[in-house]
Structure 1
Amino acid sequence: MRYTLIESENSQLYLVGILLVAVALVMGLLTSWRLLTPSVLVSMGFQLPLIAILSLAQMGPLLTGGPDLSIVSVATLCGVVSATLVQNLTGWYAVPVAIVAALIVGLLCGAFNAFVIAILWVPSIIATLGTMIFIQGIVLVITRGRTIAGFPSSYLMIGQGRILGFVPVPFVIFLVCLALMVVLLSRTRYGISVRMLGSNDVASLFSGVNNRAVIFRTFVLSGFLSSVAALVLITRFNAAQATYGQGYLLLTVLACVLGGISPAGGIGKAIGVLLAVAVLQVVSTSFNLLGFSSHLATASWGIILIAVIILNRALFKQQA
């Protein structure tokens, strides 16, 4: 049991870290080191945060033992609401109100999921599937299938701004979200409770953990992070529409599993998500620089995941 925890949280973390270095070196050689030029690194700093923040939103529910299938739909709704407000309000308060509204919508969606799962005891995969479909319909009603585009420059700073002239604002936002998850999961009683619940919900209950409260907080947090991702998404592309982010859901699960988050719950670290998303981003950017199809990059992500899992299992059996 002792080695299982080390293998699942630390061994795979080391593997992904080594993989990131290896992939960066190999792709750097193949691209004649264009991959590591300042302009490309800044570009990756703008691209990486969206998937990374959504993956953090997925991480919490996975740690409790069930995925949140609604995170992308929640992000889409938050983005549409925020975009609608920022376009229709006038005055200095338009941008702050639009931002706060997005965060509130995310929290409310997370609270709804939490209520259905924690209070009504509906399995998370079923509850969040229902929420996903419902929200998709609501977004289509609000937008009528149209794109909401054209935002104020102050609003676009969230997804397109730079600090000190070269540090992408979205990357800074991601680092803040990452720090929040690291502190919550490793430095608080809540983090311990999440791991206990995900490992064995019956044992955690008899250990004095309020399982309902833990699940509730986890899905509210997931909704909040989804709303943050929404703000990054729509301000990066200067538009909001119902179909944005449709391919991101499975990608967040891929990033979490590759980063060492156990789909069964209870095991994983937030830093693993960062390493995993970095690997995916390096591969995607490198393939783009080499002129390869983006679909080939997607296929390679699946191969990387399978290879890491097989290697991890082999190391575990060897140590056992």
Structure 2
Amino acid sequence: MNALFNRTRAFLGPEMAGPGFALLAVIVFFSLASPQFLSRATFGSVAFQLPELGLLTLAMLLPVLTGGLNLAITFTANIAGLTAAWVLKSNGGVDAGPFAFFMACLLAIGVGAASGLVMGLVIAYTRAHPILVSLSMMIFLRGLGEFLTRGGDISGFPAFIQPLGHGSILGLPIPLLIFIICVLIWHLLLTRTKLGFNTYMIGSNIEATRYSGINTRRVQVLVYTLSGAMCAIAGIIMMARFNSVRVGHGESYLLITVLACFLGGVNPFGGFGRVIPVFVALVVLQLLSSGLNLIGANQHLATAVWGILLIAVMVLRFSAGRLKFLQRIKG
């Protein structure tokens, strides 16, 4: 029994304490405030809304672990979605076949990965700050998308891709299953591969990592390339969910992905954090939004509460670090 407990604790990590407590607090509060909160409808709504934000959060996670940031995640997802949409439209639109959709997905992921590759190369070889580089890429992708679409959207896709955004398998939404698979892949990447180990090393101290013989440039390029590829997967899911693609889809998700990372115990300066606590943090944010809707709160209040929550997380983390420091001095 103790061995099982120790394995579970090692799997989840100490980062699980914050999101675990927040999850319990949200469930208790809203179940008392609204009898409809603990219902199948609520959790079904969360299950369908979670994947889009979740996939973009995974795209944000890797750069944050290296001490960087990817501000271009939403527009990378949109430009990848636009790529897939153009391939489908050029192959018959609503009459496009499965092979056209397969090629559309490959090209979309390629475009997303290429966007991340460019950012990674610039960051790695010029040592420019990731915020400036990703902000520049965000502006470029937004302008490119608006120029190519003239500010409009692209719609009219084959019916067989709709289950990718709205379908279910054994009662579980297909987008949620895709998201869970991506969570497991990211978990294995960070805990079982050399790239994952090097990612944490760079986030802890990039100069020491460089002197230890690790090719930090290669790791940074791979991290941002994978981030862009994950953005593309999110863009494909959004295309199937909304049955249309435009430049502004999911624009409001950007700051929420950062909040989810920090609420999930990820160090904002890099080098520390796990995937599973971030997944729980995403569930907390979605439950919080659904709970506020059930009690009749204004829809925009959820955004305000998320902002307050981010401030609270930063204050608590600083206070906990200060307390540990004082305890070490006294000890």
Normalising by the smaller structure, the TM-score range is over 0.9
Partner of 1:16: 19
Match of 2:307 among 295, 299, 302: 302
Contact 1:12 1:312 in 2 (8 A): no
SS at match of 1:292: coil
- What is the Cα deviation at residue 141 of structure 1? 1.7
- Indicate how the Cα distance of structure 1 residues 105 and 18 shifts in structure 2: closer, same or farther if over 3 A, else same: same
The answer as to 2:30 corresponding to 1:27 is yes
Quote the Cα distance in structure 1 between the aligned partners of 2:319 and 2:159: 52
| Paired residue type of 1:81 | T
CA-CA distance at 1:190 after TM superposition:
1.3
TM-score normalised by L of structure 1: 0.92
Asked whether the equivalents of residues 18 and 265 of structure 2 are also in contact (C-alpha less than 8 Å), the reply is no
Match of 1:110 among 102, 116, 128: 116
Cα offset, 1:237, TM superposition: 1.1
What is residue 104 of structure 2 aligned with on the other side? 98
What is the TM-score when the length of structure 2 is the normalising length?
0.90
- Provide structure 1 residue ranges, at least 5 long, that are not aligned to the other structure: 1-5
Aligned to 1:256: 261
Q: Secondary structure at the match of 1:243?
A: coil
Correspondent of 1:163 among 161, 169, 175: 169
Q: Secondary structure at the match of 1:65?
A: coil
* Aligned-pair CA distance for 1:43: 1.5
Q: Distance in 1 between matches of 2:254 and 2:23?
A: 22
| Residue-by-residue CA offset, 1:186-227 (whole Å, 9 max, x unaligned) | 111211111111111111112221100110110011001000
Distance 1:189 1:253, change over 3 A: same
Count of aligned pairs: 311
Measured against aligned partners, the alpha-carbon deviations of 1:280-313 in whole angstroms (never above 9, x if no partner) come to 1001011111221111111111222222333333
1:129-166 per-residue CA deviation (whole Å, 9 max, x = no partner) reads 111111111101221111212322211222111112x2
Distance in 2, Cα, partners of 1:152 & 1:308: 44
**How far off is 1:234 after superposition?**
1.6
Q: Distance in 1 between matches of 2:62 and 2:146?
A: 28
User: Do 1:79 and 1:231's aligned partners in 2 also have CA atoms closer than 8 Å?
Assistant: yes
Contact preservation (8 Å) 2:18, 2:263: no
Task: State the secondary structure of the residue aligned to 2:270.
Answer: coil
CA distance, structure 2, for counterparts of residue 178 and residue 92 of structure 1 = 26
Report the AA paired with residue 237 of structure 2: V
Letter in 2 for 1:21: L
Q: More displaced, 37-46 or 50-59?
A: 37-46
Tell me the percent identity. 38
Contact 2:265 2:274 in 1 (8 A): yes
Q: Are 2:152 and 1:149 equivalent residues in the alignment?
A: no
Cα 1:115–1:26 shift into 2, 3 Å: same
Conserved? CA contact 1:78–1:230, under 8 Å: yes
Q: CA RMSD in A?
A: 1.7
Matched, 1:213 2:218: yes
Q: Secondary structure at the match of 1:148?
A: strand
Following superposition, the deviation at residue 10 of structure 1 comes to: 4.3
Kindly provide the amino acid, as one letter, of the partner of residue 33 in structure 2: L
> What residue in structure 1 maps to residue 272 of structure 2?
267
- The verdict on how the C-alpha distance between 1:142 and 1:44 changes in structure 2, with shifts beyond 3 A counting, is same
Residues 60-69 or 307-316, more deviating? 307-316
What is the alpha-carbon distance in structure 2 between the residues aligned to residue 154 and residue 266 of structure 1?
42
Aligned to 1:3: none
Distance in 2 (CA, whole Å) between partners of 1:15 and 1:127 is 31
Instruction: Provide Cα deviations, 1:82-103, integer angstroms capped at 9, x if missing partner.
Output: 1122223133422212211211
Q: CA deviation at 1:35?
A: 2.1
Deviation of 1:273 after TM superposition, in Å, equals 1.4
Q: What code does the residue aligned with 2:274 have?
A: K
Structure 1 segment 171-250 matched on structure 2, within 5 A: 171-250=176-255
Deviations 1:33-89 (A, max 9, x none): x22212221221110111111011001111111111111111010011111222231
Question: In the alignment, which of 73, 86, 89 is matched to residue 87 of structure 1?
Answer: 89
